[in-house]
Structure 1
Amino acid sequence: MTTALQATRLQDRLSSELTRLKDAGLFISPRVLEAPQRARTRILGREVVNLASNNYLGFADHPFVKERAAAYLHAWGAGAGAVRTIAGTLQIHEDFEAQLAAFKHTGSALVLQSGFTTNQGVLGSLLQDGDLVLSDELNHASIIDGLRLSKATKKVFKHKDLNDLRRLLQEHPTSGLKLVITDGVFSMDGDIAPLGEMVKVAREFGAVTYVDDAHGSGVLGEQGRGTVHHFGLQHAEDVIQVGTLSKAWGVVGGYAAGHQDLRELLINKARPFLFSTGHPPAVVGALSAAIELVQQDSSFIERLWDNTRYFKRELQTLGFDIFGSETPITPVIFGEAPAAFEASRLLLERGIFAVGLGFPTVPKGLARIRNIVTAEHTRDDLDTALSAYAEVGRQLGVIGG
């Protein structure tokens, strides 16, 4: 095959795939932020109120976090230089993991490159042929992809449906490991897993519970320790918690927290850990500062929840459907995808950055704008957003005049 023919076939494939995405309304062109990730940022040359970020506590551009990052950069260099298992484990990596384990009240913790790769690494290391996995139907894509790497039997239970979970456990007995997997906070709807009752059901059948706390860590529980702590399960040896360090903590990375043996297994078997360079020192420093900051100052969590309650209440007063959200993730339902995308465009015209989401990211008929309120938003920011929502909602006929 000639080089020219190979190039033509490649170009045909790229073009056809892009056309398919555009025809299906799934083509993505990300907005570019022209200023730091904050409650107000800059897009297309104008200042906007930012409701699209996962920066729950406002740490992404916090001075204390940036100062620690700079200090670690100067003291330890720009990069780790190797994978963790060869020569890339610096003392600061292990110090931070001990700090994180103490914060989470677990026996140990291991940090991986991202929350996505953490699910791949933990599930790929833990599960074997003959094991049984029960996964909530709305679990994150990283869990779904992680399970694809496993030879375990996989079953999906209806969202937060404990009766369906119990039925599947009864119908699929096994002598292998049984693992019940759930998000702590679900990223599209903002609802919380019924973790206390779920663990009880799992224990009836000798199953372990696995919680992805990406959107719960830094948000729920005492000092933001997460969903597991929120339900008082932080000392339970039959609960594994994983999560991300890129949302409330404002930086990047993922973690697995639990028994020391889990950490040791992952060091030896988790492929993302074994084959990826360790985090740069500046990242480690920023994360260390973020964990310190949330424990030193309770106002971050307090402001986050004060803002969340206010924003939800006022949206409902206007007549919007927020789909029963229980957390700072606040969906506003517009029905079909074109309406949600048009609402996002109209909001941006009014200085509000909030992204529309449609099928297949969310079910048909439940297209929405997903808003995330942060600790950094002021009441003026939220009132500006609410005023814009009122105008757009009436213009599109989603709420009454």
Structure 2
Amino acid sequence: MLNRFVVDLETSRQQGFEKHEAILSSAQGREVTVLHQGSSRTLINMCANNYLGLANHPEVIGAATRALGSHGFGMASVRFICGTQDLHKRLENRLSTYLGTDDTILYSSCFDANTGLFETLFGAEDALISDELNHASIIDGIRLCKAARHRYRHGDMENLEAILRTSQAARTRAIVTDGVFSMDGSVANLPAICDLARRYKALVVVDDSHAVGVVGPGGRGTPSLHGVEDQVDILTGTLGKALGGASGGYVSGRKALIDWLRQASRPYLFSNSLMPAICAGSLAAIDLAENSLEIRETMNHRVVQLRSGLQRLGFRVGGVDHPIVPILVGDAEAAQAMSEVLFESGVFAVAFSYPVVPKGAARVRLQVSAVHRPEDILQVLGALESFSHPRCHRL
């Protein structure tokens, strides 16, 4: 077995798919200090999900620090034994109020939320219809349950409707989609999805991890952005991106649904409770996300600056108006070369290749934060202005 892994690793390396973890010696922020080849380098950070810049915000850090003193380091237990504190209930209630739902249940991550959701709520008599570009946690969560599984072509409403027509014998059907697709920065067509769901009597499940805090009034996500809050049945999301950047996930929706997850969802029943300090910091982050319009406006200004600049340079850019700004390169080796050029120019941005994205769809995903300055974006654009690679073609 080990010999097989050695061969597979070498093949992956030769194809340009090998991934390396950068080691940071600083807090997450506008700049990060990266340990590289025995020395430290401070770089403009363009690859974090820290969209609102809250991962090192003094109010978030202060709330977490106070909770560390008052509530301790960890719960050393699962929720139903002795692992629920007042902070857990406050955070669940706050998320429900923020998202406009009946109730919310916390998980240790959104990956756990998605793997715990489908196997608990859907059985062999049901059908799940999933966008082909959904996050890996949705894919794995659906695999864990016994429901019939269908995939529709990304954003293709005609293909989705065709599947809805042919799956009407199922007891319960659910259309499952990311709110914002993490590799592309594109936003799901929720109005069309909700319209089809009404016509064919299906539920709508949205993973809004890259949207909450970022899009819609008050940062309430894609249902709020499209005005379909009352038509989305189940929301999943994370506290590890815009809402403070630590860890933790949730499922939010109707009370009976959440109550059943508390009784039967295995990742919830058998995983330790969230660290109390994370709950307190996340509460502060939600307040900032909801009430600090200036933070989102600053982020959006930087997004426009970066997107328009990359387009002027002739690069193919994915998504629209979202702080996920992928430069669509195609070739894995060319994407890695672009990442290295940026690194040498003082910019930290990671190349994505197979299996994170399909073969031939490699990219460098830039991610904008509210803490970025105009000169940071100019530094990125300056580094890329003269970039050339035989397998990276500009428009």
Match 1:373 to one of 368, 371, 381: 368
Name the residue aligned to 1:6.
none
Aligned-partner Cα distance in 2 for 1:360–1:123: 24
Q: 1:129 aligns with which of 124, 133, 156?
A: 124
Are positions 1:386 and 2:381 aligned together? yes
Give a deviation string over 1:274-330, Cα, whole Å, max 9, x none.
000101111111101101112332111111111111110111111111034341111
Q: Cα distance, 1:41 vs. partner?
A: 1.1
Give the direction of change, closer, same or farther, for the CA distance of 1:246–1:397 in structure 2 (3 Å limit).
Answer: closer
The two structures have a TM-score, normalised by structure 1, of 0.93
Distance in structure 2 (CA, Å) of the matches to 1:254 and 1:20:
35
Give SS of 1:211's match.
strand
- Structure 2 residue corresponding to 1:300, chosen from 295, 299, 316: 295
Q: Which deviations, in whole Å up to 9, do the C-alpha atoms of 1:58-109 show, x marking residues without a partner?
A: 1111111000000001000111121001110111100111011111111111
2-side partners of 1:324 and 1:216: how far apart?
A: 13
The number of residue pairs the alignment matches comes to 390
Return the alpha-carbon distance in structure 1 between the equivalents of residues 246 and 352 of structure 2: 24
Among 228, 238, 241, the alignment partner of 1:244 is 238
Instruction: Determine if contact 2:334/2:389 at 8 Å carries over to the other structure.
Output: no
**CA distance in 2 between partners of 1:206 and 1:326 (Å):** 32
Say if 2:105 is the partner of 1:110: yes
Q: Secondary structure at the match of 1:330?
A: strand
CA distance in 2, matches of 1:115, 1:393: 38
State whether structure 2 residue 219 is matched by structure 1 residue 219. no
Separation in 2 of the partners of 1:74 and 1:380? 39
**Cα contact 1:325–1:331 (8 A) shared by 2:** no
Asked if 2 retains the 8 angstrom alpha-carbon contact of 1:340 and 1:369, the reply is yes
Cα displacement string for residues 224-274 of structure 1 (whole angstroms, at most 9, x for unaligned residues): 1111111122233x5211111101112211111111112101101111100
Task: Give the conservation status (yes or no) of the 8 Å contact 1:228–1:241.
Answer: no
1:287–1:132 CA distance, 2 compared to 1 (3 A): same
Bigger shift: residues 64-73 or 15-24: 15-24
Pairs within 5 Å for 1:158-177:
158-177=153-172
Name the residue aligned to 2:29.
Answer: 38
Cα deviation for residue 379 of structure 1 reads: 0.4
What residue is the counterpart of 2:56 in the other structure?
Answer: 61
Tell me which moved more, 41-50 or 266-275.
Answer: 41-50
Q: Which letter does structure 2 place at the counterpart of 1:118?
A: A
Task: State yes or no: 1:287 paired with 2:282.
Answer: yes
8 Å Cα contact 1:223-1:301 kept in structure 2: no
Name the SS of the counterpart of 1:166 in structure 2. helix
Deviation at 1:364, TM superposition (A): 3.2
Quickly say closer, same or farther: Cα 1:279–1:324, change in 2 above 3 A.
closer
Which whole-Å CA distance do the structure 1 matches of 2:368 and 2:138 have between them?
A: 25
What is the CA-CA distance between 1:124 and the residue it aligns to? 1.2
Residue identity opposite 2:196 in structure 1:
V
Identity %, equivalent residues: 36
In structure 2, the residue matched to 1:25 is 16
**What residue identity is the alignment partner of 1:70?**
T
Deviation at 1:175, TM superposition (A): 4.0
Matched to 1:36, the amino acid is A
- Which aligned pairs between 1:204-353 and structure 2 lie closer than 5 A? 204-236=199-231, 239-249=233-243, 250-353=245-348
TM-aligned CA deviation for residue 24 of structure 1: 4.2
Conserved 8 A contact 1:120-1:145: yes
Match of 1:186, SS state, is coil
Query: What is the CA–CA distance in structure 2 between the aligned matches of 1:393 and 1:49, rounded to whole Å?
Result: 21
In the aligned structure 1, how far is the partner of 2:320 from the partner of 2:366? 11
Q: CA RMSD in A?
A: 1.7
Gaps of 5+ in 2: none
Does structure 1 conserve the Cα–Cα contact (< 8 Å) formed by 2:304 and 2:321? no
Distance 2:12 2:266 in 1: 31
Q: Aligned equivalents of 1:312 and 1:175: distance in 2?
A: 44
Q: Does 1:189 align with 2:158?
A: no
Counterpart residue identity of residue 242, structure 1 = T
* TM-score normalised to structure 2 length: 0.95
| Amino acid across the alignment from 1:239 | D
Distance in 1 (CA, whole Å) between partners of 2:53 and 2:198 is 38
Query: Which amino acid in 1 is paired with 2:195?
Result: K
1:19-69 Cα offsets, whole Å, 9 max, x none, are: 343344332221111211111111231111111111101111111100000
Deviation at 1:396, TM superposition (A): 7.7
What amino acid does structure 1 have at the position aligned with 2:156? D
- C-alpha distance in 1 between matches for 2:350 and 2:379: 17
Q: Which secondary structure does the structure 1 equivalent of 2:386 belong to?
A: helix
